[in-house]
A and B are shown apart, each in its own frame.
Chain A
Amino acid sequence: MDSSYVTSLIPPLAVFLPLAGALAGVGLGRVSERVRTVALGVVCAVTAALTLWLIPGILDGKVYETYLLRITPTIWLHLRVDALGALFAATVSIIWLLALVYSAGYMADGHRLGRYYAFFMLCLSWTLGLAYAGNLLTFLIFYELFSILTYPLVVHEETPAAMAAGTKYIIYILVGGSLVLLGVVFTFFLAGDQTLTVGGLLTADMDRTALLVVFWCFLAGFGVKAAIMPLHGWVPDAHPAAPAPFSAVLSGVMVAAGSFGIMRIVFQVFGVDLLEELGVMPYVAVLAAITVVFAAILAVSQDNLKRRLAYSTISQMGYVALGIGLLGAGSSTGAIVHITNHAFMKGTLFLCAGLLIKRAGIHNVSEMAGAAKRMPVTMAAFALAALGMIGTPPLSGFISKWYLGLGILEVDEPLYLAVLLGGALLAAIYLLPIVYAAYFKKPPALATAADEEDGREAPMSMLVPTVIASALTIALGLGATLPGFPYSLAEMAVEAFFR
């Protein structure tokens, strides 16, 4: 299927609509909190609809693109929607919509809401820009913007722990961003172009040392965001510190943005053939495998629930990096699908963790006993997502791991199959005890009636997005092969990359 380029205004509209929403949000908040919530909800819903709207066309083999702005002869902004970008954008915007609705309940009576919502919407805008970036510089611009402008959300609570996490975050991100910039500049210098193309910008006749430097600059830069060990340090601090709806976004798609960057680099800057010749990818696979196992082991020992989930994110993103690192068509498909599947599962888990904090004051795994009695719906959603994460069929987590496993066999590296299974086993070890405690352990005697009152199920505004995210875990598992679902898009993307 040959791709045909279509100029379209929908991608820039999807990118800039949340931007307008951010500005409007500040003003509307002065009018009334309710008006703002509804307005921003509508903006997010329309944005999500726009990103989904593009998918049928993509499946027909169209590629939407728009030239935005030529800043100087060597710096220009360009949006281009391919299958990979469309899938990531749709994932992002749906997660964001759920998190926004959830925020309305979670953040009520919080402080500095104007700042929170403004940056929340801004980040959606930048992340969509990242998904739709058609050249390296556009990618870099949105990457830097969303990395740095995430800071106010990370530190939103303004507790000392949050501030410390924020400082750590910004240092990691700035260093990572600089490395990415070096990679972009170097690529532009070597290739004289920066448009992301199938087959890659760089070619084998370029200086080998330079190519290696570019590759490791990019990998280290994006590796910070993608939390590939040993560059993961910011994740376990930043994720627990952020407010729950933003943790969901942070863990679900922000970390994935790093993996998404690595995919763009591997498939569209270097290209599969060149990387095979350079022989660097086995190292990436080893790093990823170490990340999968080691982060999962660390997760087991965490008592703080959100921290445990953060380590789980590191481990799961390791799967994605592993899938790419093996440089096989099947494993790459699995990696792409896993980004989406993981986003909704991890989103659910963090939203549930937020509900547990808010309604029952539960911060730690050791306090989970009997939580299901008090919050049955929340815990059901949690259990479902946890089972998905472990890879129980027919949930979505199983689908991505299945393809990853097939991919591993396809490239004939059975050792990594052990990593895959080990990661899943460890996921069971760090997630199932939570579910077990919630359902089967006796709750501690409640001291007062006030505790009882606290421990009830959350209001609908928070519960509904949580349940939807959790339901998507089933839908993405059962409907995995339907056209328009992640697998079809991932397959399309991979077919092009491995042509």
Chain B
Amino acid sequence: MEVYDIRPILAPTISLVCAGMVFLVGRNKHWRRFWMLSAAVLKLVVVMSMLPGSLRGIVYVFDMIDFTPGIGIGFRADALGMFFAVVSSTLWLFTTIYAIGYMKGEGQRVRFFGFFALCVSTTVGLAFAENLLTFFIFYEMLTICTYPLVIHDETPEAFRAGRKYLTYTLIGGACILVGAVMVFDATGTLSLSQPGILSTDISYNTLALIFALLIGGFSVKAAVMPLHGWLPSAMVAPTPVTALLHAVAVVKAGAFGILRTIYNVFGVDVLEDVGFTIPLAAIAGFTIIAASLVAIFQDNFKRRLAFSTISQLSYIVLGAALLTPFAATAAIVHIANQAFPKITMFFVAGAIQRKTGKTTVHELAGIGYRMPWTMGAFSVAAMSFIGMPLFAGFITKWYLSLGALESADYWVLIVMVVSSMLNAAYFLPIIYLAFFKAPPGTEMHVDEAPPTLLVPILICAAYVIILGTTAQVPGMPFSLAEAAVHFVFGL
């Protein structure tokens, strides 16, 4: 059931207004904090207020302008979009608190927090985009808004990373635009409200080109190998940025775009006929393994996390590419199941860096004695990635395995097992160093990060367990994922 409602546009507008106010009155520390926090809370309230309706099957829509018939700006909060919006606005709140603590004493805070809010605004806009054009506009805005955050430190390395980031993502964006135009040319619509708008009547070659352009374009942000090069470099950004943008907003925008392309542009039936997803699944499988292998050899803590992100994101791509209901469930819930543990890990890396100045893995020996809560949270997140039951990651692993069996792609099971092992191989040594390998003379007294850093870490770690144990409790996003899958597969 569709209901005309202002909330799908209200949600991105709130952070937009917040960004404006930060730019205007952000010189004053208190006003800046006021606007940041109240906007984060308000937005979460708005998004959450749609959740009960969404769970009952209501889709909130808001159409704005039609440039010409068929091309316009429109918002539509369907189950898939709501899932992404709930995850990103929840995490925005925690990241805001963390960022306020983390950025103390940094320069250019007005610019930082202003663009920070803009990024979140565009992410939610993207989640609620009703058609490919709206999607594309927000997608490109996200690229632009992230740039000032990536180069925040204004070191030569940061500028280099920024340039690399823009080059990759703008080329990706251009591909998407061309793809979108071709979709419009073939179908006369850009709507994302149907379970697929393309049909097999269109010539095979056109379909293949559209698929390559759209998926290729989105794969840049989703960091599917070999298009992942920008992501590890972008780790020079301050930690809250890497946490929110490179674990949640930017990379997930890419993954979300892939989900939209597969489920709403092509549709499952068409893709099953033409078989384009078979090579995509293979590439995703390769990325999962290869990125993990690279991660093992990274000594820089954040770089190790970055390669782990690349590997984990491809779970979403792989799940989508398998085209079965269980795999689709895995792909969608992994948006949350990757975001919460990964953001926990980035927060931990940042807290350690702020507290002790340590940025490499080998320096972490004995850190568990000094920061037990922080490293405890890290361990929870690591368990999730390894796929321990009762942690969020297990639910993805379970559904993805079932999905692979459904489509008889047995190699995916091997990929899953190997990936779990590799995750263990690069996360367990960190826990081992932190808790069991204290060098002689390590100070045993507890010296934790300040509460503004520690509290978001602990809440996110708690979420990892909550997502893994009570996924079906009303108000948890799992049922949204189910609803989205039912819609997509016409169940």
| Given known A170-B428, A185-B402, A185-B405, contact A71–B421 (CB-CB < 8 A) | no
Give the docked Cα–Cα distance between A71 and B468 (Å): 7
- B398 near A: Cβ within 8 Å? yes
**Selected contact of B472 from candidates A72, A152, A158, A170, CB within 8 Å:** A72
> How many Å from the CB of B52 to the closest CB on chain A?
20
A72 touches B402 (CB 8 A): no
A140 touches B436 (CB 8 A): no
Instruction: Give the residues in chain B near A448, CB-CB below 8 Å.
Output: none
Give the docked Cα–Cα distance between A175 and B424 (Å): 10
**Selected contact of B469 from candidates A69, A163, A174, A179, CB within 8 Å:** A69
B402 touches A175 (CB 8 A): no
Give the docked Cα–Cα distance between A174 and B424 (Å): 8
Instruction: Give the residues in chain B near A179, CB-CB below 8 Å.
Output: 417
B405 touches A186 (CB 8 A): yes
Instruction: Give the residues in chain A near B421, CB-CB below 8 Å.
Output: 174-175, 178
Most buried by B among A140, A175, A181, A186: A181
Q: Which listed segment binds A: B87-95, B281-289, B387-395? A: B387-395
Encode B378-398 as 1/0 by CB contact (under 8 A) with A: 000001001111100001011
| Given known A141-B390, A163-B436, A189-B402, contact A71–B417 (CB-CB < 8 A) | no
A155 touches B402 (CB 8 A): no
> How many Å from the CB of A283 to the closest CB on chain B?
23
> How many Å from the CB of A155 to the closest CB on chain B?
6
> How many Å from the CB of A19 to the closest CB on chain B?
12
Q: Which residues of B, 384-442, contact A by the 8 Å Cβ criterion?
A: 386-390, 395, 397-399, 401-402, 405-406, 413, 417, 420-421, 424, 428, 435-437
Encode B471-483 as 1/0 by CB contact (under 8 A) with A: 1100000100010
- B470 near A: Cβ within 8 Å? yes
Instruction: Give the residues in chain A near B386, CB-CB below 8 Å.
Output: 174
B417 touches A75 (CB 8 A): no
| Given known A71-B472, A72-B472, A73-B472, contact A189–B405 (CB-CB < 8 A) | yes
- A70 near B: Cβ within 8 Å? yes
Give the docked Cα–Cα distance between A144 and B468 (Å): 15
Encode A140-176 as 1/0 by CB contact (under 8 A) with B: 1100110010001001001000010010001000110
Encode A112-148 as 1/0 by CB contact (under 8 A) with B: 0000000000000000000000000100110011001
Instruction: Give the residues in chain A near B399, CB-CB below 8 Å.
Output: 72, 74
A178 touches B405 (CB 8 A): no
**Selected contact of B395 from candidates A75, A144, A185, CB within 8 Å:** A75
Instruction: Give the residues in chain A near B401, CB-CB below 8 Å.
Output: 181-182, 185
Give the docked Cα–Cα distance between A380 and B435 (Å): 40
Instruction: Give the residues in chain B near A73, CB-CB below 8 Å.
Output: 472, 482
Instruction: Give the residues in chain B near A163, CB-CB below 8 Å.
Output: 436-437
- A294 near B: Cβ within 8 Å? no
| Given known A182-B401, A185-B401, contact A155–B436 (CB-CB < 8 A) | yes
**Selected contact of B389 from candidates A145, A158, A188, CB within 8 Å:** A145
Give the docked Cα–Cα distance between A223 and B382 (Å): 26
A72 touches B388 (CB 8 A): no
Give the docked Cα–Cα distance between A186 and B417 (Å): 13
> How many Å from the CB of A202 to the closest CB on chain B?
14
Q: Which residue of A lies closest to B413 (CB)?
A: A182
> How many Å from the CB of B454 to the closest CB on chain A?
19
Q: Which residue of A lies closest to B418 (CB)?
A: A178
Instruction: Give the residues in chain B near A144, CB-CB below 8 Å.
Output: 388-389
Most buried by A among B405, B436, B470: B436
Q: Which residues of A, 160-212, contact B by the 8 Å Cβ criterion?
A: 163, 166, 170, 174-175, 178-179, 181-182, 185-186, 188-189
Instruction: Give the residues in chain A near B428, CB-CB below 8 Å.
Output: 170
Give the docked Cα–Cα distance between A171 and B389 (Å): 18
Give the docked Cα–Cα distance between A188 and B404 (Å): 13
A137 touches B389 (CB 8 A): yes
Instruction: Give the residues in chain B near A178, CB-CB below 8 Å.
Output: 417, 420-421
Q: Which residue of A lies closest to B333 (CB)?
A: A72
A158 touches B402 (CB 8 A): no
| Given known A71-B470, A174-B424, contact A158–B436 (CB-CB < 8 A) | yes
A71 touches B402 (CB 8 A): no
Name 18 interchain pairs, CB-CB below 8 A, sorted by A: A69-B469, A71-B395, A71-B470, A72-B395, A72-B471, A72-B472, A73-B482, A74-B398, A137-B389, A140-B389, A141-B389, A152-B436, A174-B386, A174-B424, A178-B417, A182-B401, A188-B402, A189-B402
User: Which 10 pairs across A and B sit closest by C-beta, in order of nearness?
Assistant: A141-B389, A189-B405, A185-B401, A178-B417, A72-B471, A71-B471, A174-B424, A144-B389, A72-B472, A144-B388
